[in-house]
């Protein structure tokens, strides 16, 4: 079926194209009756990342020669049984570069997904956070169920290749039955291969892991930078441990008030907006836009391509072909960042000439497929965490009813995101709630950044998060830009506001607008 993961992170989405990687260490499920907050981490040079984390080489040293270090933290498998079985959480850090007496503590990052490997992603963007490293150890982790932290296993690489070739937007009863059967098969393999861990990958579990991490790292407060789904995780942490929140920034903010259906509909609108902006950008330049003469022409030609692919896929990366689903996936991937728009232009131009390789490569990036044909576990983890969190279970009949509204939100992505809602229908574990509780009236200020052109976490979510955190807690900042997230756009105004808060404790003025 291969539909787009819900609330996929900007950083996780870019890792394959950046070819930046790293790793940490695995788990043994041992029993440990000791107080886990007293454990000492053994920091060592990072090995090359596991295939489940995205593969590749060990991370390069930072400018100035600082080495990345990796360690493993034990956490309870079941937080309701803290003295029972444990699992291993893979960590990575780069020590603070400034003087010891200026060091604030650790700054913990979550780059989202859910399902993205923080151990892989932090080094990919390490240089972006050089200023923050002057006063913090930069720390990230593979959340439980992800990468080397008891990573969820579902289908094998060969099965995943077939799975992602399937049609995820059925046009008749036979295609609908096939879609449902594929989802059922995938979900059954997750239960068969990872049944022990599936009940314990909720966002509330990851938030408790972060509080244990805070203690093990030796910090009184958790200083935190959450991106995309990482904002939801940060909000849940603030709700559970409001007095332990230090300086925190949420960027590319998830709307915590939405159900899974509302989130998918919001993404349909968000990706359509990003596509509109891409078409406008391409046709407004002095040189000819190779994929259309007008904004509408660009969108009409893309729709025509997808319709043709539904009937007849294009040659791409043998033996795999560029299907309608893979092309939609690749287009969506390229809308996560304005930096990817040239890839989209080139990929569409190539596809119009009968060659699907670039769009297929973009789709592989979204799905976590490595160049050697192995897959990271981002899709398996994404589905496992979302299905453990979200109470709703949508039937095919319900999706059929909702299709007109999704198509109105996005002629291009509507069907694709609507049918993605059946992903949890046959899931082995009951979902926790309709939406996360992030109310944290006793927490200190949290800077909440919304990007007006964000496809994956639409701008409106920032205000909803700020309001839900509580009066005087959520401080909203607006970035008028394109792509998923704001800080990594390198916009000076955003950078100064975030750095000023994290480094000096200066809270930005409520309602600040950066453009």
DSSP 95-144: ---S-GGG--EEEEEE--TTT--HHHHHHHTGGGGTTGGGTEEEEEE--T
CA distances from 94 to 46, 106, 141, 418, 440 (A): 11, 10, 12, 41, 30
Give residue 44's pLDDT.
Answer: 97
pTM given for the model:
0.93
Give residue 29's pLDDT.
Answer: 39
Which of these is catalytic: 106, 228, 334, 410? Answer: 228
Which of these is catalytic: 88, 142, 454, 488? Answer: 454
Strand partners, 73: 89
Give residue 63's pLDDT.
Answer: 85
Listed residue (475, 479, 427) closest to 450, CA to CA = 479
**CB burial of residue 420 (10 Å; 0-12, 13-18, 19+):** buried
Q: DSSP label at 258?
A: -
Is there a contact between 430 and 191 (Cβ–Cβ < 8 Å)?
Answer: no
Give residue 30's pLDDT.
Answer: 38
Give residue 32's pLDDT.
Answer: 40
- Active site annotation includes 364: no
Give residue 287's pLDDT.
Answer: 85
* Measured distance CA(350)–CA(290) in Å, rounded: 10
Give residue 384's pLDDT.
Answer: 98
- Active site annotation includes 484: yes
**pLDDT tens, residue order, the chain (515 aa):** 444 444 433 333 333 333 222 223 333 333 444 599 999 999 999 999 999 999 999 999 998 888 999 999 999 999 999 999 999 999 999 999 999 999 999 999 999 999 999 999 999 999 999 999 999 999 999 999 999 999 999 999 999 999 999 999 999 999 999 999 999 999 999 999 999 999 999 999 999 999 999 999 999 999 999 999 999 999 999 999 999 999 999 999 999 999 999 999 999 999 999 999 999 999 998 788 999 999 999 999 999 999 999 999 999 999 999 999 999 999 999 999 999 999 999 999 999 999 999 999 999 999 999 999 999 999 999 999 999 999 999 999 999 999 999 999 999 999 999 999 999 999 999 999 999 999 999 999 999 999 999 999 999 999 999 999 999 999 999 999 999 999 999 999 999 999 999 999 999 999 999 99
Which of these is catalytic: 363, 389, 484, 488? Answer: 484
Listed residue (166, 186, 189) closest to 178, CA to CA = 166
Give residue 387's pLDDT.
Answer: 98
Those residues with Cβ within 8 angstroms of residue 358's Cβ, 6 or more apart along the chain or in another chain: 330, 343, 346, 347, 350, 351
* Measured distance CA(363)–CA(359) in Å, rounded: 6
- Active site annotation includes 454: yes
* Measured distance CA(346)–CA(150) in Å, rounded: 38
Give residue 34's pLDDT.
Answer: 58
Give residue 14's pLDDT.
Answer: 36
CA distances from 354 to 309, 310, 324, 351, 468 (A): 10, 14, 13, 5, 49
What is the bridge-based pairing of β-strands 474-482 and 446-453?
parallel
Give residue 65's pLDDT.
Answer: 86
* Measured distance CA(281)–CA(338) in Å, rounded: 10
């Amino acid at each position: 079926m291969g539909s787009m993961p819900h609330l996929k992170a900007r950083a996780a989405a870019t890792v394959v194209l950046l070819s930046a990687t790293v790793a940490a260490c695995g788990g043994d499920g041992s029993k440990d009756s000791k107080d886990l907050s007293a454990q000492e981490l053994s920091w060592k040079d990072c090995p090359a990342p596991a295939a489940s984390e995205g593969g590749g080489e060990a991370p390069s040293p930072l400018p100035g020669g600082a080495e990345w270090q990796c360690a493993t933290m034990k956490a309870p498998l079941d937080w309701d049984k803290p003295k029972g079985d444990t699992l291993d959480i893979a960590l990575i850090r780069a020590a603070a570069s400034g003087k010891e007496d200026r060091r604030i503590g650790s700054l913990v990052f979550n780059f989202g997904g859910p399902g993205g490997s923080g151990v892989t992603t932090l080094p990919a963007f390490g240089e972006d956070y050089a200023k923050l490293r002057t006063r913090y150890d930069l720390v990230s982790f593979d959340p439980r169920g992800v990468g080397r932290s008891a990573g969820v296993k579902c289908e094998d690489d060969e099965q995943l290749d077939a799975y992602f070739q399937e049609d995820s937007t059925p046009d008749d009863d036979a295609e609908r039955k096939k879609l449902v059967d594929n989802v059922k098969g995938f979900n059954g393999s997750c239960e068969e291969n990872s049944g022990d861990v599936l009940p314990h990958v909720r966002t509330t579990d990851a938030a408790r892991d972060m509080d244990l991490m805070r203690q093990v790292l030796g910090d009184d407060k958790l200083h935190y930078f959450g991106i995309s789904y990482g904002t939801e995780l940060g909000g849940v942490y603030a709700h559970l441990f409001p007095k332990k929140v230090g300086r925190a920034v949420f960027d590319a903010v998830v709307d915590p008030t939405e159900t899974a259906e509302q989130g998918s509909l919001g993404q349909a609108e968000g990706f359509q907006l990003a596509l509109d902006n891409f078409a406008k950008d391409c046709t407004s330049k002095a040189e000819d836009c190779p994929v259309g003469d007008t904004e509408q022409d660009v969108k009409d030609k893309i729709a025509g391509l997808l319709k043709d692919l539904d009937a007849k896929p294009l040659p791409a990366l043998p033996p795999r072909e560029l299907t309608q689903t893979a092309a939609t996936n690749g287009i969506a991937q390229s809308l996560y960042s304005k930096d990817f728009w040239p890839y989209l232009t080139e990929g569409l131009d190539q596809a119009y000439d009968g060659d699907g390789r670039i769009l297929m490569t973009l789709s592989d990036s979204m799905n976590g497929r490595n160049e050697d044909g192995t897959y990271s576990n981002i899709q398996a983890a994404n589905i496992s965490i979302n299905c453990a969190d979200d109470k709703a279970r949508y039937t095919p009949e319900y999706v059929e009813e909702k299709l007109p509204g999704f198509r109105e939100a996005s002629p291009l992505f509507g069907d694709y995101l609507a049918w993605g809602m059946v992903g949890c229908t046959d899931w082995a574990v009951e979902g926790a709630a309709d939406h996360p509780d992030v109310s944290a009236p006793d927490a200190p200020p949290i800077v909440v950044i919304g990007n007006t052109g964000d496809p994956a976490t639409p701008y409106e979510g920032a205000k909803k998060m700020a309001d839900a955190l509580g009066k005087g807690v959520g401080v909203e900042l607006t970035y008028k830009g394109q792509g998923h997230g704001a800080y990594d756009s390198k916009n000076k105004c955003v950078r100064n506001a975030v750095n000023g808060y994290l480094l000096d404790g200066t809270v930005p003025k409520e309602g600040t607008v950066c453009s």
